[in-house]
Amino acid sequence: MLSLFLPKSSRSKKSPSRSPSRSRQAAQPRDKPKVGPDARQPSQSGEKPKASSDGRQLPLSRDRLKVPSEKRQRSTSREKPKSTLDERFQSLDFWVVKEKKDVVKRVVPYFTGRISEKRQLKSLKEQKPWVEELIESEDEDEEDEDDPERFSDLEKAFWKNPESMVNELRNVTRLWYYMLLRYTFRTKSEDGWKEPSPAFELEDFDHESFTSQLNEKQMRALIKRPTLISEYKEAYKETKQRTGWTRFCERMKSFTILLGLESESTKVEQLLQELEKCLPGLKNAKKLETQRLLIERLQAERERATHDTSTSNSDSVNALRRRFEAKQAESERILRERLEAKKAESERALRQQLEAKKAESERTLRARLEAKNAEAERKLRESLAAKNAEAERTLRERLALNAEAERKLRENLSASAETERKHRLHDALVSCRELMEKLVGEKPMVKGSYMVGGQQFKQRWKDLFHEQWTKCKAKKPAGHPLLSLVGQQKFYVVGKELYGTISERLHNHREYKDKEVDADVKRVLFAILPAVYSNPTSTEAERDWTLTTEKQRWGLP
């Protein structure tokens, strides 16, 4: 799975004890991603990055720090991913991100773009051979901490130009952490995010598979991963715990102790800041140490000369000794006075510079913070006022639309309910007439009768209703349909004429379409029909009656 980042020859050298569960199968070499010539140089116009007081390089302009607009932030995942690198040495805090958009915009280009030749590890070791005393492959055993020569080249280079070397060490720290983070991220993205990144050899960082640029398809697939932020945080955490990084931090700590720096900090950049502040005192201490060694060498030479001339004239030896001791004492006194004076002057000048810079920095920072707070408060107030006005206007519009929609809905529901009520009433009229016809039954037409079929049903219903009314009024049988009506004579009149009333309304339904049925007619209608007809939510299946059941209600044979 590491074929994208490591050559076969390098992978075969890995110790199997490092990752026993990650067996690797031999595979055909993969196509290397195409590398574009668009690796961006930090200063194409001749402008060099400015450096801060602690040696860190600042951006060329504030335009690169502008936050994109809200619309541009929302469309981050749809933009074409960038593949060019900003080749400045980024601080360790630069790699701390909290949101996916920051990973895509800031970090991913450093993992997918091409590393220029001057930023590769082989170029760094050629320009600064002392780097090899700080870094090593993870498979190698730790060096002996008591070895006096472990930082010999680094110490010589440091005391030649201490101020410049502090910046060099800071840049090496940042570049080394970037290489470790890039290696961890790319190997985990290839092997699987749940698998730990394998141990590396220094040659891996110079291989084309590590320094090359990913193609556009690979970059787009990477930034579209929904778990990109969590995967990056896991790679960041694993890099902090890598043997290559922890050993580097321990060696930097050991080197600063060798220089004489007393600090409890374990963070590399903080150690370098403290080292930069303490340089004047450390340089004076180094001068004193050099003078002490010189004096010890002179004393050794004196003792050797004394031993060689022990057989010579004692007066000459004593005179030579006195003259030498006098010159030595005078040299020591003059040297001590000069060093003490220079040390006091350096401390006084440094204290004044630090106090002046501190006061100026506090004043400038206070002014900037006040201006930024005032501007932010003004913008926030304007933004809130505009948003509140817009929200209020939108709310009014939506309330008006909701009121109109509610009115229309009520009208539609009312019309639908009215239609349903009329339909049920019409169904009740039809069912009631059918029930009356079934109850009176089909009887043969009387010979010589002049009445047609409808008139015969009307007359028969009158006779049946009169008979049932009289019976119900006299006996009051339980469950009889007319039991609730016999107390009022008006229902007798309505009931006798009910068949004719219903037939008239059904035959002339267009004329009676918009006319409401009389309340007394409704009362008699629903008394004759089964009780389920009076339920407005009943279904047609529930309203389906049988003649046998209805005859039982009326007490008919």
What number is the average pLDDT over the span 219-231? 88
Task: Give the separation between CA 105 and CA 232, rounded to whole angstroms.
Answer: 13
Amino acid letter, 286? K
What pLDDT score does 310 carry?
Answer: 63
Task: Give the separation between CA 91 and CA 170, rounded to whole angstroms.
Answer: 9
pLDDT digit string, tens, across residues 390-423: 999 999 999 988 988 888 888 888 777 777 777 8
Task: Give the separation between CA 149 and CA 156, rounded to whole angstroms.
Answer: 11
Lowest pLDDT segment from 12-16, 79-83, 207-211, 356-360: 12-16
522, pLDDT greater than 90: no
48, pLDDT greater than 80: no
Q: Is the pLDDT higher at 219 or at 87? A: 219
23, pLDDT greater than 70: no
What pLDDT score does 52 carry?
Answer: 41
304, pLDDT greater than 90: no
Under the banding of pLDDT at 50, 70 and 90, the label for residue 359 is very high
Q: Does residue 151 contact residue 258 with C-beta atoms inside 8 Å?
A: yes
Under the banding of pLDDT at 50, 70 and 90, the label for residue 145 is low
* Cα-Cα end-to-end distance for the chain: 95
Residue 337 structure tokens:
């006075």
Residue 454 structure tokens:
């409808």
81, pLDDT greater than 50: no
Return all residues near 407 (Cβ < 8 A) that are at least 6 apart: none
In DSSP terms, which residues pair with 193 in a beta bridge? none
If phi over 0 gives left and psi between -120 and 50 gives alpha, with beta otherwise, what is residue 35? beta
488, pLDDT greater than 70: yes
What pLDDT score does 290 carry?
Answer: 78
443, pLDDT greater than 70: no
Lowest pLDDT segment from 18-27, 244-253, 270-279: 18-27
Question: Percent helix, strand and coil across the chain, each rounded to 5?
Answer: 65, 0, 35
175, pLDDT greater than 60: yes
Most confident stretch, 10-24, 203-217, 445-459? 203-217
What pLDDT score does 313 carry?
Answer: 61
What number is the average pLDDT over the span 435-461? 68
Kindly report the average pLDDT of the chain as a whole number: 77
For the whole model, what pTM was predicted?
0.43
Cα dist from 170 to 164, 165, 175, 377, whole Å? 10, 8, 9, 38
Under the banding of pLDDT at 50, 70 and 90, the label for residue 236 is very high
527-533's contacts with Cβ under 8 Å and 24+ in sequence apart are 527/481, 527/482, 527/484, 527/485, 528/432, 528/435, 528/436, 528/481, 528/495, 528/498, 529/428, 529/431, 529/432, 529/435, 533/428, 533/431
14, pLDDT greater than 70: no
What number is the average pLDDT over the span 40-62? 38
Domain ranges within the chain, ordered by starting residue: 2-14+28-277, 433-554
